[in-house]
Each structure stands twice: as structure tokens, then as C-alpha cells.
Amino acid sequence: MTDTKKVLKKWETDGRLAVIYQVDNILLFYSTEKDPKFNKNEEVTLERVEQTKPYKALPFSWDNVPNDAFISLSFAWQKDEVTT
């Protein structure tokens, strides 16, 4: 059985330089060009996360979210994916 983690939040930074995803209790940082475009509440494996090659990963803490980052409203309002 593969261990999966849930994608909870997405932040964008001023100037659209970076996107940050919260996957369970980890923050994953990507340049906007390398945005893996995870979906809200998507279940991802550690292997998939490693394949997307974030440039930085930190434990979730509000102190680790940059001051110029804001919650992505399009992500926050995204409907959960329906899987059958």
C-alpha cells in the first residue's frame, strides 16, 4: 500500500515568482514555471512529489510562509476532484 498525503492549500507570491503547496504538514516551493498544478484535496504519493522537483521543502509553520504570499483563491474555491 502506498502512503499518500493530501494537498491542503496553495499560496502564490507577489510578482508571481513562486507557488507554495501545503501537503499535510509540509510546504513545497516551486517556481511558477514548474507549478505541478496539484488539485485541492488531491492525494499524492511521496514519489510523485519527488518527481515534481520542488526547489525547497519545509515543515508547515506560518513562519515558513513568506510575507508576500497569499492564498490562491482559485485553488481555495476549486471543487474537490471526484474519483470513481
Q: What is the pLDDT of residues 25-64, one digit of tens each?
A: 999 999 999 999 999 899 999 999 999 999 999 999 999 9
pLDDT score of 70: 87
What rounded mean pLDDT belongs to the chain?
88
- Pick the closest to residue 13 from 55, 52, 44 (CA basis): 55
Give the lowest-confidence range in 1-5, 54-58, 64-68: 1-5
Chain centre distance of CA 76: 12
Is the predicted pLDDT of residue 2 greater than 60, yes or no? yes
Averaged pLDDT for residues 72-77: 74
pLDDT score of 75: 77
Averaged pLDDT for residues 68-74: 83
Averaged pLDDT for residues 15-27: 92
